[in-house]
Structure 1
């Protein structure tokens, strides 16, 4: 059997049969993998807090639905900045990634892309994100730029912190602020509560994700919340998810959500609870499936909040 060319080597945890591996030009495949285009769950998880926040803003302003232009801009920005963040993370982590089974097939440790080419690709993706950000008001631009701080320090936290997922939470939850500030030009209690709840959600789901790497992380000396929690991992994820549901519910209440919004939050909480029940601390494949299911949990919450905005608008 012949060895596949470097550009044909699929990343270990990518979606099987993704168009990146089948339809994209071969020269582009390593760069698309570097941007995690073959693993769309990342940009979904970055996007959904933006959409939640936009939906809360719609409720608070008695709009029938979130601003469609904002939703589209957030989508483009999430894909671009997820790619930029992943590229930056892989540049910083290329030596560590080479020591972990799941990550050694990534473009940099596997030699598909050189570090200097990855850096140029990072600049291009950041440029797209900046173009998106400049479409918002001045306060939103400043808030968006501030998000670069946790993004910049996260890759180094896994070397020194027992729970680097907390820093990841600060970065991935940032959209919970953006949807609100894009409408109001300021940050209020609902945005802060949603941000806190989203941080707890991120820590919970990324702890589940880290279950895949517990053994390799121990060998390589990489720190993670999955290792830190140990035998208490399942209970810890449950506490994170419970805190997330409570804080999101408070955010919805402060924004003026009604019964429909509360039902959406309840369904979101139920989905998170189901993940905890099904979580097995030594089942890496199952953990990946549970992690990916957070897209559905987030879409359920967004649908509930959006429907609440519509119902309240048309009943008034």
Structure 2
């Protein structure tokens, strides 16, 4: 009832254990707290909080317009609703190294289990758009070092994302991944890999967990979880998938209202009221209400 009982500290321990388990960790992207509850109920390993989704939720494009306050606030709302560990997209850290340090501690306070920090210039671009640029290596390393230095919980996961593949090619991405690990990154997110062989090249270069981004309509082919596991990857995110599915359904619903005058024909595709109440655990709230607030008028007022 209310928020998940598992503490942020325990979620961080669980995240690291999952990454070390040898089993590919599945982290679908939650577009709101309710979808995070559904992700848990469907047996996934964790919840991903996408910068692109947070931007879209505000009606904005994913070009670095969101603020730390917005990202941390929404992350807290999502993370506290699930016992699963959450990883959040922290873009470029919202400023210079000192800002990165503040970002880390703010996200720790928000209750997430980890975050990733990228090496794009600010303002950033979606990793699957053309025209993005990366900062020089020294700047990228300073961001990671600042994050590691600021971290208070040693189990809070600091992941380095590199967009170098789409700017300077695979070898540049591999070289940068190795340098980011040397700077203290706990895991690597190589963005926009073009093939399984490219993922395998990064896997061979570093000995920390590696994340695969299986976002639709992007630069990467949509590899199966089996294919990703077979090349030794540790975690896969589906960052915008649930939002795309939901928005696609919403568009069809609006079109149906215009065309048919009601949504009767789409009732079989809707989540029922009963299922929504099940996801929200209405029964637990009802039990709580009955135990705490139930009373008898006769007991208080006798026969008056």
Give yes or no for TM over 0.5: no
Query: When you count helix as a share of all residues, which structure comes out higher?
Result: 1
- Tell me which protein shows more strand as a share of its residues: 2
**Structure with more contact order per residue of length (Cα contacts < 8 Å, sep ≥ 6):** 1
TM-score, normalising length from structure 1? Answer: 0.27
Q: Report the TM-score, using the length of structure 2 for normalisation.
A: 0.28
